[in-house]
Amino acid sequence: MRSKSIPRLVRALQYRRTTRCFSTTTLRCAGQVRIVEVGPRDGLQNEKTSISLEIKLELIKRLAQTGVRDIEAGSFVAPKWVPQMANSADVLNHLLGHPPSAPHPITYNYLVPNLKGLQNLLRTADDVKPGTAPDLSQPTEDSDSLPAPPPSPKEQEEAEPAPITSTEDPNEMPSDTSGVNDPVKPASSSALGNRTEISIFMAATEAFSKANTNCSIAESLNRCKEIVTLAKSRDIRVRGYVSVALGCPYEGPDVAPSRVAEVTASLLEMGVDEVSVADTTGMGTAPRTRDLLKTLSAAGIANQDLALHFHDTYGQALVNVVVGLEHGIRAFDSSVGGLGGCPYSKGATGNVATEDLVYCLHSLGATTGVDVEKMAEIGSWISTELGRENDSRAGKAVLARLQT
């Protein structure tokens, strides 16, 4: 009797093992994972204190030396809505004219909320010629030589936040910029492999779309199509974001995965190169993340066309990353020091910290090419500069170990 019961027990244990939701064996075969560092844009845009151009450029310079290959650098949105991004043209000018040293080429990304935003970006890039762009990262004796920080929004605007991607733009641009010119390239021969790409935003719910872009989902898709058409005529890669994919501050946590899949598919069909599916509010849980990814796959959306973007409001970001890994996703957004937040979701905290993400991925056998120690040092530095707490637990632990 005993000899017969043992094989049954072994078979039962083997069966249970194959139905586990989280498999460390699978994770150890994760291979190369791409990190998109969003700190300089998504991380800084919600900060209350003014951030100088020098600090932004120094942050990007330091990040470029960590091994990360993708950095969100700015946003060509109307400054009155997002004052922290008012000097994004200067950031682009500097990165094209004086790209920071890096171990490999870097893709610098800029959010463009509408066609005028892209036109502004193109005009700035077209004006940069090799050796002519001033080095804006260096302080000068004349403090007025740097752009003055934008004024703070009026109190009444703070009480009722304006759309972060408003269609209004104080800088009118000529309507005809659709000529097929050379793709945007860095002016410095030391970084000829660098690329400039743009990102566009969509929402998975009508309520968030109207609050964030002043239009419906259908209207927003039409605007995005105009942007993509012009970008492709200039050979510029386009990244899309689908916000509130796992929870909306207006419609609640139960966002239909089919709605997310529909918006994602629409972006890919119009020519977007990659879509980052974003848990903007941090409401996502492991089961709902898994269901969403299954729905995206069932809709015919390939894993290589997707990235995941998690906020850590409820401490679930890394859990959701693991779910994404097991599903086959190999690109994740993060922010050094856990910088960030959502102006349209009260209580939402920053993005998952890059230090925490990299430490987690490395512990699971994945490779990222990112130096976690350098990233931890940057997280501590920028947190001090901003006068805020460092929200990376792994970053603080790494620094404590280095100091012993």
Pick the closest to residue 75 from 201, 228, 172 (CA basis).
201
Opening angle at CA 203, ends 226 and 282, nearest 5: 145
Q: Which of 224, 248, 342, 360 is catalytic?
A: 342
Q: Say how many Å lie between the first and final Cα of the chain, rounded.
A: 59
One-letter amino acid of 70: D
Q: Residue 224 catalytic?
A: no
3-state DSSP assignment of residue 135: coil
CB 381 within 8 A of CB 375: no
Distance CA 293, CA 324 (A): 8
- Give the chain's count of helices (H) and strands (E): 14, 8
Q: Chain centroid to CA 285: how far?
A: 20
Pick the closest to residue 190 from 264, 99, 269 (CA basis).
99
3-state DSSP assignment of residue 108: strand
CA distances to 13, 135, 387, 392 from 185, rounded to whole Å, are: 57, 17, 35, 34
One-letter amino acid of 305: D
Residues taking part in catalysis: 342
